[in-house]
Every structure is written in C-alpha cells, then in structure tokens.
Amino acid sequence: MAPRVLIADKLSPAAIDIFKQRGVDADVKTGLSKDELLKIIGDYDGLAVRSATKADKDVIAAAKNLKVIGRAGIGVDNVDIPSATAAGIVVMNTPFGNSITTAEHAIAMMFALARQLPAADVSTQAGKWEKNRFMGVELYAKTLGLIGAGNIGGIVADRALGLKMKVVAYDPFLSPERAAEIGIEKVELDELLARADIITLHTPLTDKTRNILSAENLKKTRKGVLIVNCARGGLVDEAALRELLDSGHVGGAAFDVFVEEPAKANPLFGAENFIATPHLGASTLEAQENVALQVAEQLSDYLLTGAVTNALNSPSVTAEEAPKLKPFVALAEKLGAFAGQMVDTGLKAIDIAYEGEVAGLNAKPLTAAALAGFLRPMLAEVNMVSAPAVAKERGIVVSESRQDDSPIYDSLVRITVTTEMGKRSFAGAVLAGLPRVVEVKGMELDAPFNPTMLYVNNLDKPGFIAAIGGLLADAEINIATFNLGRVDAGEDAIALIGVDQAPDEALLGRIKALAHVKEARALKF
C-alpha cells in the first residue's frame, strides 16, 4: 500500500507532482480547522505544512500512523518537536530553499536605503520632482558589517564583494580561516560597530543575540550608519533606534522583521528614512517553489527508503544502543552548553575526548549533542542533526579522540575548546545516572548541572564565600548548590553555584567587582 501524505498548507503544484511520480498518495486539504485536522490525521503517514497548520501535541497524539512531518521553510514554531520526538515522528525542514531570496532582500534594502527610493518614489508620484532633496550614497567601497556569517550572511557577503564593498563580520563561530576563504574580515562586535557604514543582521534570536544592537551598541556606530534587519525581530532595540534615527546619528534603517508581528504599529513607523516590509524575506516565486519541491522530495525519500534529510530531532540510534547512550547524550549536551557559554570569541577548534567505557559507544550522537549544546547559546535553531553541518559551515575544526582507560571515573567526556586566546577544557561524568561537571580549567570538583548557575573564577582567599553569599542574599537569590575547586590555597579557584533565579547584569557587575574575582558568568542549562 502506498504511503499517504496530507498537504495541509498551500504548496506548489510541482510538489504534488513529485509525490505522484514517487508513488506517494498526496491529499491536498488546506485551511482545516484543528478539529477537522484531528479527525483525519490518523489516516496519514506524512504531513506537509508551511506555517499556518499547527502540529501541536493534540494533533501528534491523534496521528497514530504518522511517521514524518515536513515543513516547507526554516522555522518550525508550529510543530511541537518534543511531542513528535516522543512519538517517534521525524520532523524535517528545508533550511536552504529561501536563503538566496532572503539575502537578496537584504541587498535590495541596502540599495533602497542608500538611494532613499521609497520616499523618492512617493515624492515624484506626487508631482514634486524634489531632485535636490534625495542625495544618496554609493555602496561602492563602503564597509558592510555582517552580524552573523552563516548561510544567508555568507550569500550577502558574496553579493557585497561583487559590489566592491569591504565586508567585516562578527560571528563567534566563524573561524579566521573560513573568513579568509570567503573573502571577509572577522572582527569583534565593537570594531564592527565602529567601522561599518552599513550593518546587516543574519542571526537567530537567542538570549545572547536579543537586542544585540542595544541602545548602548547603537551609540557606538558611525554617524550616518545604515541598518538592515531581515533576520529576526528583537535583534535591535526598536525604541532606541527610533531616537537615533530622529537625531540623525543613524542615517537610515530598513526592517523586514519586527518584535511584534503582524506589525500594525511600531516605534519605527514614520521615522525619516525608515523602510518597512511585511516579512517578505522568503517571498519570491523561486523560494516558494524551492521549499515545496524540497519538502516533497524529503518526505518521499523518508517514507519510501528511510533516508533522513534536514531532520530537526535526534540522529538515528538503534534500540540496543539507546539505553546506554541516553545518560551520555545528556552529559555531552550540557557539557557543550557549559563550554559554549564560556567562550566569547575567536573559536578555532573543538576536541571531544571519550575516556573509559564511553569510548566504546557510538560517538556520533554524543559529538552531535556536544556541538548542539555548544552552539545553541548563540544559534537557537541548532540541534543534534544540524550542529555538525553548522560547525563545518563556519570553519570550526571538530575532532574526536578515544582512550580506553579513565584514571578516576568509569567514563569521562572532555571538551577542549581552542580559541585565539588559547585553550579551555571542561570534563564531565555520569554519576548515579546523572551528568556532573568534574573538572574546569584543570581544577577538580563535583557539581550537578542546575538549570541556572553562577560561575566564578577567583583567587582562593579568605572571605570570598561570605562575600558572594552576601551579594546573593541581598539580591534575594537562593543558593541550591555550591561547589568549589582550586589549584592550591591562595591560588586559582572556581565556584559553580546553582541558584534559583538568574542573576542580572547589575548583580554580575557587583560580583566581578569583588576582591580577587577574575571572571563571573551566569549560565543556563
């Protein structure tokens, strides 16, 4: 019996033809209510959606025969991935089908800003012929600053280089070698802000990237800078940008995305030399055709042959491997997240070492989990499947090593990160079935992963514990766990403190100002 796929959102007719050619029965039923979807979803092996249909936990619970969900596009906010994973349903997207279209939209926005095209059009069609009012600027020889140099950012860079622009990029996961390979200069954020004539954003929205162009950072930009955001709403402080547009410090801005969408009202609306489009980044005939064709091919491949492409949940693990791997996958991901939150810049390489019994297990899901944990603080959409490709795209050298013996623990996982500043190492073990941190900066300790933690590196001097305890008490932050490691009395020491509430920037500043403190960071797991 041929597999059956429900196409619940509008797709190109060419996608339907692919299903038919491959021998898959495809039913097109768009605009279904949730109740209507719940009644029929149990009849299908595959579900193809765009953004309208919500494959929530209720739909997945009713989908007794569903094997795969395919999203024609990148974002999968409309799919409950944890529920799908628990039900054994593979979730796929099509991450590259609209990359060129989105990059071209950013370039179009740059040109529109540089020559004030929308305002000039309105003025001219009103019969004003204000030739002297619209004095533009050339893009030639200007410096373009990319915040994010992944797939789309790389395409924008390539097009900008074709325009004979100078391109600098801030991306903590872009290696200097990869930057040189694609002809751009890797810089820190402050240097980009100081040098760029035009800034474009190409990064997902995460805790680390939210308001990356904050009021403070926007004030560091060059007078007259142009800012383009076709990535995600929330990367730029909209109210602060409006003030700087009104003052003339920012020469112009063009946004395709907003904090609240649909954007019926916004602080930026009405500002001089501000251009807005309604999230059109992926809206071309070619992009819509591409993602539709890709999702049809991917769903057909999986249903007919079992081949998995662009899956967003975990990589394949056999039934026999799963129980042994599960605690180490959790350890690898949390240890990777620890390392990822401790490294700010200049990333070159990551080595993941497996010592003891874990060295004999299937390392692929462990390494993928470690990379996903490492990259996720900056790249929210990264997962165990996509993390290796994302690392490769950014020129990060990833290596694995194995050692049959582990001196202290039955099994040990060690992540060593090489940056332009040197190396940092983090080790963990599974104890009583739970992941633990057992070594940081060469110092031994034994700490659980609390959802919210405080990391402090200090000189081991009397009074430190009382001082930091006092600051946390004053802030009414409760301590759940407190673990210490040190080289020797009076020398380098670390504290890993599990707390019930995340410390804010002001409290972190007070902790950093304590005597003998070298570094302090808030961590999330």
Q: Residue type for 59, please?
A: V
pLDDT of residue 382: 77
> Which stretches of 306-458 are DSSP H helices?
322-342, 363-375, 387-393
Do 97 and 50 meet the contact criterion of CB atoms below 8 Å apart? no
| 3-state per-residue secondary structure call for 149-192 | CCHHHHHHHHHHHHCCCEEEEECCCCCHHHHHHCCCEECCHHHH
Region at 270 (left for phi over 0; alpha for psi -120 to 50; beta for the rest): left
User: Residue 322: pLDDT above 90?
Assistant: no
Helix H or strand E encompassing 483: strand 479-486
Q: Return the percentage of the chain with pLDDT > 90, whole number.
A: 77
**How many angstroms separate the CA atoms of 377 and 27, rounded?**
39
> What order do you get walking across the sheet with 517-524 strand by strand?
479-486, 492-499, 452-459, 517-524
Place of tokens 């595959």: 46
pLDDT band at 315 (very low <50, low <70, confident <90, very high): low
Concatenating the DSSP letter of every residue in 201-234 gives: E-----TTTTTSB-HHHHTTSPTTEEEEE-S-TT
| 3-state per-residue secondary structure call for 46-77 | EEEECCCCCECHHHHHHCCCCCEEEECCCCCC
pLDDT of residue 317: 59
Task: Tell me the catalytic residues.
Answer: 232, 261, 279
**How many angstroms separate the CA atoms of 272 and 248, rounded?**
9
Region at 367 (left for phi over 0; alpha for psi -120 to 50; beta for the rest): alpha
The domains of the chain, with CATH numbers, are 4-96+286-305 (3.40.50.720), 99-276 (3.40.50.720), 322-440 (3.30.1330.90), 449-525 (3.30.70.260)
Do 518 and 484 meet the contact criterion of CB atoms below 8 Å apart? no
Among 206, 191, 171, 511, smallest CA distance to 344 is for 171
Beta strands in 248-288 (DSSP E): 250-255, 274-276
pLDDT of residue 51: 84
Place of tokens 């005597």: 515
Q: Looking at the DSSP assignment, which residues form a beta bridge with residue 479?
A: 499
> What order do you get walking across the sheet with 422-431 strand by strand?
397-403, 347-356, 411-419, 422-431, 434-440, 443-448
Environment class of 285 (CB within 10 Å of its CB; exposed 0-12, middle 13-18, buried 19+): exposed
pLDDT band at 348 (very low <50, low <70, confident <90, very high): confident
pLDDT band at 314 (very low <50, low <70, confident <90, very high): low
pLDDT band at 383 (very low <50, low <70, confident <90, very high): confident
What number of residues does the chain have?
Answer: 525
Do 354 and 366 meet the contact criterion of CB atoms below 8 Å apart? yes
Range scoring the smallest mean pLDDT among 118-132, 208-222, 396-410: 396-410
pLDDT of residue 84: 86
User: Residue 308: pLDDT above 80?
Assistant: no
Helix H or strand E encompassing 112: helix 99-114
pLDDT of residue 323: 82
**How many angstroms separate the CA atoms of 291 and 310, rounded?**
12
CA distances from 226 to 113, 132, 200, 246 (A): 7, 21, 9, 13
Quick one: CA dihedral 119, 120, 124, 125, positive or negative? Answer: negative
User: Residue 459: pLDDT above 70?
Assistant: yes
Cα 425 → chain centroid: 23
**DSSP type of residue 235:** S
**How many angstroms separate the CA atoms of 435 and 440, rounded?**
15
Residue-wise pLDDT tens digits, 223-248:
999 999 999 999 999 999 999 999 99
Q: Whole-prediction pTM value?
A: 0.76
Q: Residue type for 399, please?
A: S
Quick one: CA dihedral 229, 177, 390, 505, positive or negative? Answer: negative
Phi, psi of 510 (to 5 degrees): -70, -35
Residue-wise pLDDT tens digits, 251-303:
999 999 999 999 999 999 999 999 999 999 988 999 989 999 999 999 998 89
Do 221 and 253 meet the contact criterion of CB atoms below 8 Å apart? no
Place of tokens 């930026």: 268
**How many angstroms separate the CA atoms of 51 and 61, rounded?**
20
Residue-wise pLDDT tens digits, 75-99:
788 999 888 877 778 899 998 888 9
CB atoms closer than 10 angstroms to residue 186: 23
What the block records as the tokens of 438 is 């057992």
Residue-wise pLDDT tens digits, 122-160:
999 999 999 999 999 999 999 999 999 998 999 999 999
CA distances from 304 to 11, 25, 43, 46 (A): 21, 12, 17, 11
Do 103 and 159 meet the contact criterion of CB atoms below 8 Å apart? yes
CA distances from 187 to 75, 200, 236, 424, 447 (A): 29, 15, 19, 21, 35
What the block records as the tokens of 134 is 């619209």
Do 311 and 90 meet the contact criterion of CB atoms below 8 Å apart? yes
